[in-house]
Amino acid sequence: MENIAIISDIHGNMTALETVLEHINQRGITKVFCLGDLIGKGPNSSQAVDRVREVCEVVILGNWDDFVPKPQENAMVQWHQNQLGPERLAYLGTLPYHVDFYMSGKYIRLYHASAKSVHHRVFPIKSPLEEKEAMFENTEWITPLEENKKPDIVGFGDIHVALIDWLDEYRTLFNVGSVGNPLDMPLATFAILHGEYGSKTPGPFSIEIVRVPYDIEKEISIAIEMGMPNVDTYALELRQAIYRWPSKVKETVAE
């Protein structure tokens, strides 16, 4: 079996990322996919981009990866742009929308937010069935491995809340949570797919949600030392796992 670690929403939190990567390494997992939002919110966007490029076989476009490289008037976003520099910002613009593959006979699709857009947010616990079913559709952003084929399993990031939702006996929707900015509990969170990677033959398969404690106060200290904007808001989110963006920032910045 070749298991896959799936990380997402690092958001410049290198303390959490390194802790998660150490855990992945200890478990002997060598295949790592990232579902986007490498940058923003936390103090080390540039290091996060470099580290993800180094260790991840697949890196998907997130909503922050999409909007931060574009011209912005928001001072907080400009701070992250300046840290990233032209080469990293250009790299973010090359990221693919999704990745599809087979594993133990399951057709799996991974993307950041939804099949509609990297900026279209879906909360499965609150969403009606038709909204969740739309996550399995082939849209203008999606190129299936086989014509008109739809996935059995869809995994995504974006909402920072880990979950596994069985729509029916054929379809499963799961969220990998957030490494750097979890909003369900203050633990760095990711997922592991267990199965035979690349195999169309049915076999044992499972989805594991993993939560790892990390040094939150160390990460907050780094943000303070670097003079990062909105550090108080960042600290509250890390400590309490509650979304707390000020309204004037929330208008222009997503999770």
Task: Indicate which CATH number applies to the domain containing 241.
Answer: 3.60.21.10
- Sheet with 206-212, strands from edge to edge, namely 58-59, 31-34, 4-7, 188-194, 206-212
Report the number of distinct structural domains present in the chain.
1
- Within-domain flag for 21: yes
Extract the tokens encoding 17: 């990322």
- Within-domain flag for 163: yes
pLDDT tens digit sequence for 66-90: 999 999 888 989 999 999 999 999 9
- Within-domain flag for 136: yes
Query: 31-34 and 4-7 as β-strands: parallel, antiparallel, unpaired?
Result: parallel
Domain that holds residue 128: 4-250
What is the pLDDT at residue 247?
41
Instruction: Report yes or no: 51 and 22 within 8 Å, Cβ to Cβ.
Output: no
- Within-domain flag for 142: yes
- Within-domain flag for 255: no
Instruction: Report yes or no: 115 and 138 within 8 Å, Cβ to Cβ.
Output: yes
- Within-domain flag for 170: yes
Extract the tokens encoding 252: 């222009």
Report how far residue 77's alpha carbon sits from residue 96's, in angstroms, rounded to the nearest whole number. Answer: 22
pLDDT tens digit sequence for 90-146: 999 999 999 999 999 999 999 999 999 999 999 998 899 999 999 999 999 999 999
pLDDT tens digit sequence for 235-253: 999 999 988 764 433 333 4
- Within-domain flag for 230: yes
Q: Per the confidence metrics, is the pTM higher than 0.85? A: yes
- Within-domain flag for 235: yes
What angle, 0 to 180 degrees and rounded to 10, lies between the N-to-C axes of helices 45-55 and 14-26? 20
